[in-house]
């Protein structure tokens, strides 16, 4: 199994909350998010992001807004909702707990 495939599987279920964490600082538009996530090696392409944003919109985690005022093409800015903030807090708990279990196992295997 290549490093890339390992990373792909690890990203499952994490990406959604990384988006929420990024948005907790203020709204961002699609490609801007993609850039941030790519820099952190949290996505491999935009093909993950846009379907994810659509799901998050449907689930009320983010609220989009078209911005046509600026220069260039219209951008769709996303803001985190109250519900999104709550889910981020829940995720953080689960992440910390599960991460500790995995860390313990990996420690023990060395």
Give contact residues for its own copies (rule: CB under 8 A): 1, 3, 6-14, 17-18, 20-22, 24-25, 40-42, 59, 87-88, 90-95, 97-99, 101-102, 104-106, 108-109
Pick what 54 binds: its own copies, DNA, none; C-beta below 5 to 8 Å, kind-dependent.
Answer: DNA
Q: Which of 3, 25, 26, 45 binds DNA (CB under 7 A)?
A: 45
CB 96 within 8 A of CB 57: no
**Of 35, 48, 46, 64, nearest in space to 9 by CA:** 48
Alpha helices in the chain (DSSP H): 3-11, 15-23, 30-39, 46-58, 82-108
User: With binding defined as CB under 7 A, does residue 90 bind DNA?
Assistant: no
Rounded to whole angstroms, how far apart are CA atoms 27 and 92?
20
User: How many CB atoms are located within 10 Å of the residue 20 CB?
Assistant: 22
- Tell me if residue 64 falls in helix, strand or coil: strand
Please state the closest distance from residue 90 (CB atom) to its own copies, in A.
6
Pick what 45 binds: DNA, its own copies, none; C-beta below 5 to 8 Å, kind-dependent.
Answer: DNA
Which residues of this chain interact with DNA, rule CB under 7 A?
A: 4, 7-9, 11-16, 29-32, 43-48, 50-55, 68, 71-76
């Amino acid at each position: 199994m290549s490093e890339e495939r390992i990373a792909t599987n690890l990203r499952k279920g994490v990406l959604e909350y990384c988006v929420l964490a990024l948005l907790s600082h203020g709204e961002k538009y699609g490609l801007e998010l993609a850039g941030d996530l790519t820099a952190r090696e949290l996505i491999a392409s935009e093909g993950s992001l846009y379907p994810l944003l659509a799901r998050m919109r449907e689930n009320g985690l983010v609220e989009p807004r078209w911005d046509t005022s600026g220069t260039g093409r219209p951008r769709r800015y996303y803001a985190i909702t109250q519900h999104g903030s709550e889910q981020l807090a829940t995720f953080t708990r689960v992440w910390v707990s599960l991460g500790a279990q995995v860390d313990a196992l990996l420690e023990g295997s060395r």
